[in-house]
Amino acid sequence: MPAYVIVDIETTDPERTARYRELSGPSVARHGGRFIVRGGTTHALEGGWDPVRLVVIEFPSMDVALGWYDSDDYREARAVRAGSGIYRMVAVDGAN
């Protein structure tokens, strides 16, 4: 069953964020993930959630998604990202 990593991002340091993206994109691909949503216009439909930048990444399974998050290459990307903004990230199983 696929799993999805959903990220709500508020960038405060665009330069550091750009360096993070250079590392995170290839890391996602190396771990079998693919970007479903990477930015783009959002429209708040209900509630108070109005993300600035929303990213959705699909992985083959939750185990693969969690393995990616804890991998050496993504840990390096997270270290580069530190202090570049506010990142809210969840992993969720997809529908089967």
Q: Domains of the chain by range and CATH?
A: 3-43+51-93 (3.30.70.100)
Q: What are phi and psi of 52, to 5 degrees?
A: -75, -45
Give residue-wise pLDDT tens across range 3-25: 999 999 999 999 999 999 999 99
Give residue-wise pLDDT tens across range 27-70: 999 999 999 999 889 988 998 888 989 999 999 999 999 999 99
Helix (H) or strand (E) holding 65: helix 62-69
Q: Extract the tokens encoding 25.
A: 């994109």
The predicted pLDDT at position 50 comes to: 86
Q: What are phi and psi of 49, to 5 degrees?
A: -85, 120
From first CA to last CA, the distance across the chain in angstroms is 6
